[in-house]
Amino acid sequence: MKASPEHQNLLIELQLIDTAISHLKIKLANLPEHEQITAIHTRLENTAVELAVVETELADVAIDLRRVEVDVEQVADRISKDESRLSSGTGSPKELEQLQHELATLAKRKSELEDGELEVMLKHDGVKARVDELLNDQVGLKQLELELNIRLENATTEIQSEIGTRQTERAQLAPKIEVSLIELYEKVRASNDGVGAALLVGNKCEGCHLSINAIEIERIKSLPADEIIRCEECRRILVRI
Ligand SMILES: [Zn+2]
């Protein structure tokens, strides 16, 4: 195949644009915000799971607390009734003695219940604190997610705009190059990581970075400037400088 050196040079320019577009697309797909947002989602999910567990626990502890409060109130009521009966002095001495005995038992019971009540209250406070902490985490994580989404959107817009600029450049450049050369370039590029044309610098192919043997270099030198040459190693279009 033949193409003028001018067209071959334009092909290198096209390659530079295509390489830039490829890099921008890779950058777009690998924006750190994607990974950061995924991590935030995982944390939000974990927080929601723990929150559900801790909220259930809080509801259970609240019931326990109410139960022990009722127990304390009931014992306090009985003590107060017994005390008023005792102070009224009605009843036989034996009955009064029984009342005093019962009051001592009730006081002991009340003290035990109050200890239990304190324990449940402390547990309730601890669980409540964890619920609050998780709710707080949720708010913070959602705020962070929002900020990351904005950053992602801005970065995406910026890169897409750069890609757009490069694509416009490409659209202006491509028609200046011979169709058959472009077709060959596209074919080679498709199977060579997006690089279809490379410069021959000294005896080195800038596409695969391998040296071309002396015999081949001599052969290339003997070819007219409009002869399209290909790298023996990577098959890319080699453009002489
Ligand atoms: Zn090569």
The Å distance, Cα 17 to ligand 1 centre, comes to 19
Same domain for 129 and 58, yes or no, is yes
Nearest CA among 116, 126, 106 for reference residue 68: 116
The Å distance, Cα 190 to ligand 1 centre, comes to 15
Sheet holding 229-230, edge to edge: 204-205, 197-201, 237-240, 229-230
Domain boundary among 173, 200, 222: 173
Mean pLDDT, the chain, as a whole number? Answer: 96
Are the C-beta atoms of 124 and 65 separated by less than 8 Å?
yes
pLDDT in tens, 149-192: 999 999 999 999 999 999 999 999 999 999 999 999 999 999 99
Here the CATH number for the domain that contains residue 168 is: 1.10.287.1700
The Å distance, Cα 211 to ligand 1 centre, comes to 8
Same domain for 19 and 46, yes or no, is no
Q: Would you say residue 90 has pLDDT above 90?
A: no
In the chain, pLDDT over 70 holds for what percent of residues? 100
Q: Supply the DSSP symbol for 176.
A: G
Residue with structure tokens 């127990």? 71
Q: Would you say residue 100 has pLDDT above 90?
A: yes
Domain boundary among 149, 173, 197: 173
Residue with structure tokens 């009730």? 106
Same domain for 56 and 105, yes or no, is yes
Same domain for 118 and 214, yes or no, is no
CA distance 127 to 56: 10
Q: Would you say residue 89 has pLDDT above 90?
A: no
Instruction: Note down the domain range covering 69.
Output: 31-173
Task: Look at residue 186 in the predicted model and tell me its pLDDT.
Answer: 97
Same domain for 169 and 206, yes or no, is no
Domain boundary among 150, 173, 196: 173
DSSP letters of 218-230?
HHHHHS-TTB-EE
Same domain for 12 and 71, yes or no, is no
| Angle at 147 (CA atoms; ends 143, 151), nearest 5 degrees | 165
pLDDT in tens, 7-27: 999 999 999 999 999 999 999
Q: Would you say residue 241 has pLDDT above 90?
A: no
pLDDT in tens, 18-76: 999 999 999 999 999 999 999 999 999 999 999 999 999 999 999 999 999 999 999 99
Task: Look at residue 91 in the predicted model and tell me its pLDDT.
Answer: 84
User: The tokens of 231 are what?
Assistant: 């790298």
The Å distance, Cα 236 to ligand 1 centre, comes to 6
The Å distance, Cα 230 to ligand 1 centre, comes to 8
Q: Which residues surround ligand 1, an ion (CB under 5 A)?
A: 205, 207-208, 231, 233-234
Same domain for 72 and 47, yes or no, is yes
C-alpha distance from residue 85 to each of 66, 89, 91 (Å): 29, 7, 9
Task: Look at residue 112 in the predicted model and tell me its pLDDT.
Answer: 97
The Å distance, Cα 202 to ligand 1 centre, comes to 13
The Å distance, Cα 238 to ligand 1 centre, comes to 8
What is the tally of structural domains in the chain? Answer: 2
